[in-house]
Amino acid sequence: MSELRWNPVLEEWVVTATHRQERTYHPPADFCPLCPTRLGAHPTEVPAEDYEIVVFENKFPSFRRMPHKPSVEGDDLYQVRPSKGICEVVLYSSKHNGSLATSDVVDIARLVDVWTDRYEELGSLDYVDYVLIFENKGEAIGVTLEHPHGQIYAFPFIPPRPARELESAARHWDSKARCLFCDIIEREAADGRRIVAQNDGFLAAVPFFARYPYEVHILPRRHVASLLDFSDDERWGLAEILKVVLQKYDNLFGFPLPYIMVMHQAPTDGREYPYYHYHIEFYPPNRTATKLKYLAGCESGAGTFINDTLPEETAATLRATAPCKLDPACGERGAGAEDRGEGRGKGEGDAKGERAADGEAGGEDVGEGRDGGEAHVGERSAKVKEARRDMHAQ
């Protein structure tokens, strides 16, 4: 049973989904329902012996294409609606122990294409007002299936946080005749202290107003509202910068960093949103290698976040974390790098999935060569263009 219940105090919908209590919880190591179905083995959710990317509807969804009738009757104060919508699971790879951070750029670019396809198809449904693409990674976030995967929720309404962004972006647009997010990009680029990584099409930064110590936002330099507005080069550029940020996260403390990754893009309710700007937000819960940020009284009760760190300092730490040479603006080692030592920042990079020998998953492949990296730029460009042509030709 699942349904929507209206909170008249906060004026927002709450989803009740009692059947989710029965969802798979940390299955045995020898059986993963998201791995391929091996010959002669027990069938999984994927009836194939191998795959690149798989999308299927969640068996324990918060929203349903054909929802049940609500369990209670609503009234003018306590409104109730069927939870009509769609919940999908996106499997990034057939490799059980992989992740986006260890994926090749060409594989991430293929995933960007899949995200684009799902946003377009789900958003075209007349009952879907918002398509939320996200990933929960790590046990600290509450993930119960280790296989690398993300999710897509097709909402029958615009969720509260995107709705607030839309309102603030509209006010900024009306008062200044400019995009709020374009102004943020311009300010961050001019300041430079909070930049973590950047390429021709995208900027990644710990925002001035970060709520989590190592929160990172990725924003396209060009004003685009959704994945549908991206050029082929921009899709590839997004894959590149995702690779960089995710490698930095995994190298930050020497283990795969848990995080929530959420895409913010224009609603699909049929209205025009010329003032909105696509972006991705990462919320890692770690404030140190051994300490998590919990959402306690002030955050959960009052809705006000308390950040125990300075965004300028955490950005410098991430900027200095391998892969660390992106361009002259981001190549300098920042505060906090000395505490980790040169070994963590450079020497250990190859052992943590960078594979500098072939450059496919390493810093050079995303324009971040370590010592002497600039000599690889031309060679790297030829490689990625060839890979991109091969991918789109398939």
Q: Which two tokens stand for residue 311?
A: 């965004």
Rg (CA), the chain: 21
The closest of 352, 353, 379 to 364, measured between CA atoms, is 379
Residue with tokens 């809705």: 303
Per-residue pLDDT of the chain (394 residues; tens, 9 = 90+): 789 999 999 999 999 877 655 556 566 767 888 888 888 778 888 888 899 999 999 888 889 998 888 888 999 999 999 999 999 999 999 988 889 999 999 999 999 999 999 999 999 999 999 999 999 998 888 887 888 899 999 999 999 999 999 999 999 999 999 999 999 999 999 999 999 999 999 999 999 999 999 999 999 999 999 999 999 999 999 999 999 999 999 999 999 999 999 999 999 999 999 999 999 999 999 999 999 999 999 999 999 999 999 999 999 999 999 985 444 444 333 333 333 333 333 333 333 333 222 333 233 333 333 333 332 333 334 444 455 555 555 5
**Residues forming a β-bridge with 14:** 5
pLDDT recorded at residue 19: 60
Beta-strand ranges (E) seen in the chain are 2-7, 12-17, 54-57, 80-82, 86-91, 130-137, 149-155, 195-198, 202-205, 216-220, 259-264, 279-283
Q: Name the CATH superfamily, with its identifier, for domain 24-59+85-393.
A: HIT-like (3.30.428.10)
> Could you state, in order of their start, the residue ranges of all structural domains in the chain?
24-59+85-393
pLDDT recorded at residue 76: 94
- Catalytic residues, by residue number, are 149
pLDDT recorded at residue 376: 31
pTM of the model: 0.81
pLDDT recorded at residue 151: 95
Collapsed DSSP state (helix, strand, coil) of residue 381: helix
How many alpha carbons fall within 13 Å on the CB side of residue 39?
A: 0
